[in-house]
């Protein structure tokens, strides 16, 4: 059975059996490395009273990793899938007082009520590639509006690769990664499918991400880039002069 996402349904993320399998799998090595860096950035830039907004929080694995470094962290965790949120509540039960869970669709951000705003950190981990391009732009504008003046948006996501011109070079990197990380064929190669083939995978290329951040008043920097995964930090642009 094909479980498809649409702008208004959680698709495969609303399917308990699919989520159970997804949640039980270890985090892929590239993502794990970037999440470790992300947790360090948050820890080193933490201030008392800060809050983290995680948009597309999934089953709470990112929060768990951050709590491992920063037990005082406080989150608002938003996701469209009640199933994902159920797993997240269970995973983060020991920190229940520090997490507020919200069922929200990132296609309808006007309905998201956030009395905790502005946020020092807004996380977008492996969710932007699931949104249409207009929704991506709306999401980044929303981040800008809800970010503290010295806050950071932290995005971890796959990026579209230039397979038309550089397939051979990318395949060589893929083989090296499979060899180094012990991942099996297929586990890292989803980026080789036409990104528009699956309606839940619409990644931007790196330059499109950077342009989209700038277009909504955020100054981005690539903190880590390896193959098809990028960690990008962005802060509000400062007016010059
Ligand atoms: C690949 S999972 C990533 C989960 C988590 N950020 C992580 O990295 O472990 C993508 C998540 O984005 C959520 N998502 C996708 N589209 C969404 C939307 N339009 N609104 C809210 N959440 C969405 C899904 O329900 C799912 O939990």
CA-CA distance, 148 to 117, in Å (whole number)? 8
| Domains identified in the chain and CATH numbers | 11-160+195-236 (3.40.50.150)
Check: pTM over 0.75? Answer yes or no: yes
Separate counts of helices (H) and strands (E) for the chain: 7, 7
Q: What is the pLDDT of residue 200?
A: 60
Given a contact cutoff of 8 angstroms between Cβ atoms, the answer to whether 38 and 123 are in contact is yes
From the CA of 104, give the closest atom in ligand 1.
Answer: 21
The number of beta carbons lying within 10 Å of the beta carbon of residue 111 is 8
**175 CA from centroid of ligand 1 (Å):** 28
From the CA of 31, give the closest atom in ligand 1.
Answer: 8
Instruction: Name which residue sits closest to atom 13 of ligand 1, judged by CA.
Output: 56
Q: What is the pLDDT of residue 186?
A: 67
Residues of the chain with pLDDT below 50 are 1-5, 7, 195-197, 241
Q: What is the pLDDT of residue 197?
A: 45
Testing ligand 1's pocket by substitution, the residue of 89, 110, 127 carrying the most ligand atoms inside 8 A of its CB is 127
Residue list, ligand 1 pocket, CB within 6 Å: 10, 13, 56-58, 61-62, 79-81, 84, 105-107, 125-127, 130
Q: What is the pLDDT of residues 93-120, one digit of tens each?
A: 999 999 999 999 999 999 999 999 999 9
From the CA of 54, give the closest atom in ligand 1.
Answer: 6
Q: Per-residue b/e over 27-45, b at no fewer than 16 CB within 10 Å?
A: ebbbbebbbbebbebbeee
**56 CA from centroid of ligand 1 (Å):** 4
Please state at what angle helix 206-215 crosses helix 133-146, rounded to 10 degrees.
50
Q: What is the pLDDT of residue 229?
A: 92
């Amino acid at each position: 059975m094909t479980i498809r996402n649409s702008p208004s349904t959680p698709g495969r993320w609303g399917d308990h059996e699919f989520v159970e399998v997804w949640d039980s799998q270890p985090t892929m090595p590239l993502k794990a490395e970037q999440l470790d860096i992300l947790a360090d950035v948050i820890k080193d830039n933490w201030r008392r009273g800060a809050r983290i907004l995680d948009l597309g929080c999934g089953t709470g694995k990112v929060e768990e990793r951050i709590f491992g470094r920063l037990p005082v962290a406080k989150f608002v965790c938003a996701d469209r899938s009640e199933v994902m949120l159920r797993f997240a509540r269970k995973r983060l039960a020991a920190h229940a007082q520090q997490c507020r869970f919200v069922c929200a669709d990132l296609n309808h951000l006007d309905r998201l009520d956030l009395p905790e705003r502005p946020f020092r950190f807004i996380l977008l981990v492996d969710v932007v590639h699931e949104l249409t391009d207009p929704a991506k732009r709306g999401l980044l504008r929303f981040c800008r509006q809800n970010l503290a003046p010295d806050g950071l948006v932290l995005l971890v996501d796959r990026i579209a690769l230039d397979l038309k011109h550089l397939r051979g070079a990318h395949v060589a990197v893929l083989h090296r990664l499979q060899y180094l990380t012990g991942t099996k064929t297929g586990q890292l190669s989803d980026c080789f499918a036409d990104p528009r083939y699956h309606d839940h995978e619409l990644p931007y290329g790196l330059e499109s991400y950077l342009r989209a951040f700038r277009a909504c008043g955020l100054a981005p920097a690539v903190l880590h880039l390896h193959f098809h995964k990028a960690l990008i930090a962005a802060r509000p642009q400062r007016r010059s002069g």
